[in-house]
Copies of this chain bind each other. A is one copy, B any other.
Amino acid sequence: MNEWNNLDKLSSYQDLQKAGRVDLTKVMAGQEGSDRVGKYQAPMAAGLRFNYAAKQVDDDILKGLCKLAEEAQLASKFEELYNGAVINTGEKRLVLHHLTRGQLGGTVNADGKDKRAFYTEQQEKIAAFAKKVHNGEILNEKGEKFTTVVQIGIGGSDLGPRAMYLALENWARKNNTCLMEAKFISNVDPDDAANVLAGIDPSRTIFILVSKSGTTLETLTNESFVKDALKNAGLDASKHMIAVTSETSPLAGNSDYLAAFFMDDYIGGRYSSTSSVGGAVLSLAFGPEVFARFLKGAAEADKLSAGTDPMQNAAMLDALIGVYERNVLGYPATAVLPYSQALSRFPAHLQQLDMESNGKSVNRRGEPVDYPTGPIIFGEPGTNGQHSFYQLLHQGTDIIPLQFIGFVNSQAETDVTIQGSTSQQKLCANVAAQIMAFACGKQDENRNKNFAGNRPSSIIIGDKLTPEALGALLSHYENKVMFQGFLWNLNSFDQEGVQLGKVLAKRVLAHETDGALKAFSDLLKI
């Protein structure tokens, strides 16, 4: 039976507070630095590796983190989760996104169903539908093939699937599996939908309406916007729309939609990229086989995450180091820096995943905690970021831990050699150089050109960003966030913090306001 205690009640955490600190300018220099790079690595799925040589840890601190993992019962808590415990204590729900991509543990029944079978069934339905669209069994009113798919959804129905689509677009083009172009409408700002619609041919487009409840304000509003546009183009909306929703929503079994695929309450929006929410758009865009490969990478990563030894469990180790940085070293943020343009929106997905899961001040029993929890997450791809905010990362007054991601090969495999190296080599040379610049710095008598160093980073290294590697990356971060939630004793699976704004916005629209809220509403002429 697992015990759920606050982080500051754990003796291994108190020991870490007392332990010595690592100075990267020292340990990353010379032979010791070289040894650390070889030694401080953990295997990941799909051939990826997690290298933490440039983190502020040493063998002693790592031992302390392993003790913390044991005392906090991270492995058995994950086991409890994937076996169907009510881990989402706030909403009293199971947390089952792992079941969408492989069976860890035993059979999980809920709502009178075998949930793994339920998720698999939805995947099969989506695959069959996508095949029919691709082979021309399902056509538009004029008998033409559909060329474009537009996902209408917000939050987890947008950020994850969009980031995954962009991550694989170039790869799919190179591998001739870019079967449909995908676009996304998310914002209630009518200019978002207007802009997307201006760039597509609606007559050749399938729209996916994604809303678990079938009541999300932004999504229903954008559906109406799109239906108006279809109608104005003389098209029958019901021949162009599919729904991804819960079985009990008004969108299910509704003749307004060409088809409906289901999700349920046990997969939160930010964890839904491997469910029907990501499955429909990715299977239509790249084919069900590519989506299956993506799930395979995630499943393999989940299995590694289920291991009990943190030194062989990259997600757990990454989580432990992150908590050490946040709570022992006191750093307020983490930057995610993929050296891969394909991962341009991956930091935005992680921003939701992490900040919505662990940006909380009460523990899973609803009691206030006395320590910092989830950090700010932000990031942009390298090398772009180098020409932007890296100035502050190198020479600013706060230290911000960094998470690099790099691949040996490009996706498109089109390259150019300038000054004796390819663009891909230049890209990789830059990420290697940055790790060392941050770790070791450089003394200069001119203080303006001085780099203090001792700025920690890790890197995930892969051969190429394939569907399997992407699935492995996604799962790594999902499980990292989950383990950090366990360490902080949070419920990482609800989001009560988004409710108040919704309630007040409804009041504004109903003109039931007074005081400052009415004054702001007047300024905005609502």
Given known contacts A33-B515, A383-B189, A388 and B433 CB-to-CB distance under 8 angstroms: no
Interface residues of A in 422-450 (CB under 8 A from B): 422-437, 439, 441-442, 446-450
Q: Contact between A500 and B372 (Cβ–Cβ < 8 Å)?
A: no
Closest Cβ–Cβ distance, residue A370 to chain B (whole Å):
9
A450 and B496 CA atoms in complex are apart in Å by 9
- The reply to whether the CB of A468 lies closer than 8 angstroms to some CB of chain B is no
Q: Which of A193, A372, A381, A436 has the most CB of B within 10 A?
A: A436
Interface mask (A346-367 → B, CB under 8 Å = 1, otherwise 0): 0010011001101111100011
| Minimum CB distance partner of A347 in chain B | B378
List, in ascending order, chain B residues with CB within 8 A of A355's CB.
388-389, 391-392, 396
Given known contacts A341-B195, A366-B446, A517-B436, A221 and B426 CB-to-CB distance under 8 angstroms: yes
Q: Contact between B381 and A187 (Cβ–Cβ < 8 Å)?
A: yes
- The reply to whether the CB of A110 lies closer than 8 angstroms to some CB of chain B is no
Given known contacts A332-B398, A359-B396, A341 and B192 CB-to-CB distance under 8 angstroms: yes
Q: Contact between B351 and A388 (Cβ–Cβ < 8 Å)?
A: yes
Closest Cβ–Cβ distance, residue A449 to chain B (whole Å):
5
Q: Contact between A508 and B433 (Cβ–Cβ < 8 Å)?
A: yes
List, in ascending order, chain B residues with CB within 8 A of A494's CB.
448
* Cross-chain contact of A520 among B156, B436, B521 (Cβ < 8 A): B436
Q: Contact between B395 and A451 (Cβ–Cβ < 8 Å)?
A: no
List, in ascending order, chain B residues with CB within 8 A of A112's CB.
none
* Cross-chain contact of A170 among B30, B195, B218, B448 (Cβ < 8 A): B195
Q: Contact between B383 and A188 (Cβ–Cβ < 8 Å)?
A: yes
**A-side interface size class:** 35 or more
Interface residues of A in 317-358 (CB under 8 A from B): 332-333, 339-342, 348, 351-352, 355-356, 358
Q: Contact between B376 and A378 (Cβ–Cβ < 8 Å)?
A: yes
Given known contacts A159-B388, A341-B189, A524 and B333 CB-to-CB distance under 8 angstroms: no
List, in ascending order, chain B residues with CB within 8 A of A222's CB.
423
Interface residues of A in 133-173 (CB under 8 A from B): 154-156, 158-159, 169-170, 173
Q: Which of A173, A193, A217, A429 has the most CB of B within 10 A?
A: A429
Q: Contact between B397 and A372 (Cβ–Cβ < 8 Å)?
A: yes
Q: Contact between A373 and B388 (Cβ–Cβ < 8 Å)?
A: no
Closest Cβ–Cβ distance, residue A457 to chain B (whole Å):
11
Stretch at the interface among A34-42, A66-74, A123-131, A253-261: A34-42
- The reply to whether the CB of A220 lies closer than 8 angstroms to some CB of chain B is yes
Q: Contact between A37 and B394 (Cβ–Cβ < 8 Å)?
A: no
Q: Contact between B516 and A34 (Cβ–Cβ < 8 Å)?
A: yes
Q: Contact between B225 and A387 (Cβ–Cβ < 8 Å)?
A: no
A519 and B30 CA atoms in complex are apart in Å by 11
Closest Cβ–Cβ distance, residue A503 to chain B (whole Å):
8
- The reply to whether the CB of A416 lies closer than 8 angstroms to some CB of chain B is yes
Q: Contact between B391 and A360 (Cβ–Cβ < 8 Å)?
A: yes
Stretch at the interface among A239-247, A287-295, A307-315, A406-414: A406-414
| Minimum CB distance partner of A157 in chain B | B387
* Cross-chain contact of A361 among B159, B359, B395 (Cβ < 8 A): B395
Given known contacts A195-B412, A356-B389, A430-B505, A396 and B448 CB-to-CB distance under 8 angstroms: no
Q: Contact between A424 and B224 (Cβ–Cβ < 8 Å)?
A: no
- The reply to whether the CB of A377 lies closer than 8 angstroms to some CB of chain B is yes
Closest Cβ–Cβ distance, residue A340 to chain B (whole Å):
6
List, in ascending order, chain B residues with CB within 8 A of A356's CB.
388-389, 391-392
- Could you jot down 26 A-B contacts, CB within 8 Å? A34-B519, A37-B516, A154-B383, A191-B410, A192-B341, A217-B426, A332-B332, A351-B380, A356-B389, A356-B392, A358-B392, A360-B397, A366-B446, A366-B448, A374-B392, A390-B501, A396-B497, A408-B525, A419-B509, A426-B505, A428-B526, A431-B524, A432-B505, A432-B517, A432-B521, A433-B503
For the complex of A and B, 9 pairs with smallest distance between CB atoms: A359-B392, A155-B387, A33-B516, A433-B504, A37-B519, A352-B388, A194-B412, A359-B396, A395-B497
